[in-house]
């Protein structure tokens, strides 16, 4: 059987557009968005319909877009994300800032606190980087710019955007595996699952290891609201365990370092010492943990690296809009410190 002839209709079916749009693109006619044009040219080239140099220069695939002197819009959920004292996101933001400077591009910062219905009036706006969880209104507003987007710690099925995450699942899997190896069989995860995609992924990593080890019956989830009153909710849970004579967990895997430190302090108020009575782990390696005792077992997050990686990815995406969106995972090292030990017999 001979090879199927590649026609404009085949290209249209591959990309998901009409034959008319394909014809307009290949004949360099106006009225086709740049993203659609790039996808059609990419498909036509991959299918063998086009040969190198066959199109006019103005229609060529991957025309080089200069980043230097262009502007990158950085969207933050709130203005505090810019502060280096905001230990996690402040460091990620610093990485973005340094990365943009290294590309000799400009930076515009907006937050959800601003009126996003008024678009930023910048002719040389070339791309967008977002930090953290975005609400639906912000997503719609940002997609309206029609330029490449890279999202850090967030993704949306309706958005054509690249996303960058820590490899949250693998990090927690390694920590949970290690706790089980030490002999812990009654382990609790603490974290608000809807707070962020990272929290949810860390829970999935924890749950995966627990199920593989067959410890589901002795494992609990504290889906505690991540706010200033978190300790009150945890205390109520501790009280109910005591009242109902439920065996107290020997280890707690926390969604981040901030939660872990607050949990350790709360346990001390209840007469429990870490790690003598209970083991506790975190995630992120926050700067504020330096000098704290016991030193926290955690997963190192290279926060500035994440920011710089987002800039590099955006620059690549600006000139490769025809490729489908990708999710990038950045690995972190597990750091074994003083906050965990073998379970103590009670």
CA distance 201 to 332: 14
Q: What fold does the segment set 71-165+304-330 form as a domain? A: Rossmann fold (3.40.50)
The angle that helices 303-318 and 87-102 make with each other, rounded to 10 degrees, is 40
pTM for the whole thing?
A: 0.76
Domain ranges of the chain: 8-59, 71-165+304-330, 168-301
Rounded Cα–Cα distance for residues 77 and 80 (Å) = 9
Order across the sheet with 125-131: list the strands: 106-111, 71-76, 125-131, 149-152, 162-166, 327-330
Q: Quickly name the fold that domain 168-301 has.
A: Rossmann fold (3.40.50)
Q: Looking at the chain, list the stretches that DSSP marks H as alpha helix, in order from N- to C-terminal side.
A: 8-15, 19-26, 34-46, 87-102, 136-143, 168-182, 197-212, 230-243, 257-269, 303-318
First and final CA of the chain: distance in angstroms? Answer: 74
Is 168-301 the same fold as 71-165+304-330? yes
Please tell me the class of the 8-59 domain.
Answer: mainly alpha
pLDDT values of the chain reduced to their tens digit, one per residue, 346 residues: 445 678 888 888 887 888 888 888 888 787 777 667 777 877 787 777 776 555 544 454 555 667 887 899 999 887 666 665 567 888 999 999 999 999 999 998 988 777 766 666 667 889 999 998 888 888 888 888 888 999 999 988 778 899 999 999 999 999 999 999 999 999 999 999 999 889 999 999 999 999 999 998 877 899 999 999 999 999 999 999 999 998 999 999 999 999 999 999 999 999 999 999 999 999 999 888 889 999 999 999 999 999 999 999 999 998 888 788 999 999 999 999 999 999 986 5
């Amino acid at each position: 059987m001979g090879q199927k002839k590649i026609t404009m209709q085949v290209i249209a079916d591959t990309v998901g557009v009409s034959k008319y749009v394909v014809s307009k693109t290949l004949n360099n006619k106006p009225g086709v968005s740049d993203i659609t044009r790039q996808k059609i040219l990419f498909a036509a080239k991959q299918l063998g319909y086009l040969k190198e140099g066959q199109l006019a220069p103005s229609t060529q695939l991957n025309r080089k877009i200069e980043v230097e002197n262009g502007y990158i819009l950085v969207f933050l959920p709130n203005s505090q994300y810019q502060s280096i004292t905001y230990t996690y996101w402040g460091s990620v933001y610093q990485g973005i800032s340094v990365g943009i400077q290294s590309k000799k591009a400009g930076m515009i910062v907006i937050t959800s606190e601003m009126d996003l219905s008024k678009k930023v009036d910048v002719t040389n706006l070339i791309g967008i980087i977002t930090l953290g969880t975005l609400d639906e209104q912000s997503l719609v507003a940002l997609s309206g710019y029609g330029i490449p987007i890279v999202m850090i710690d967030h993704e949306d099925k309706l958005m054509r955007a690249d996303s960058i995450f820590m490899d949250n699942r693998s990090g927690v899997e390694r920590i949970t595996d290690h706790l089980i190896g030490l002999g812990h069989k009654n382990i609790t995860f603490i974290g608000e699952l809807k707070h962020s995609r990272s929290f949810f992924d860390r829970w999935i990593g924890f749950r995966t290891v627990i199920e593989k080890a067959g410890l589901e019956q002795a494992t609990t989830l504290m889906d505690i609201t991540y706010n200033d009153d978190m300790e009150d909710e945890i205390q109520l849970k501790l009280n109910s365990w005591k009242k109902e004579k439920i065996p107290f967990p020997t280890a707690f895997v926390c969604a981040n370092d901030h939660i872990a430190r607050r949990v350790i302090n709360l346990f001390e108020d209840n007469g429990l010492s870490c790690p003598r009575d209970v083991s506790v782990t975190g995630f992120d390696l926050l700067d504020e943990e330096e000098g704290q005792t016991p030193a926290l077992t955690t997963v190192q997050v290279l926060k500035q690296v994440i920011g710089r990686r987002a800039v590099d990815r955006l620059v690549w995406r600006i000139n490769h809009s025809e490729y489908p969106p990708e999710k990038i995972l950045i690995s972190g090292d597990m750091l074994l410190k003083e906050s965990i030990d073998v379970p103590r017999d009670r």
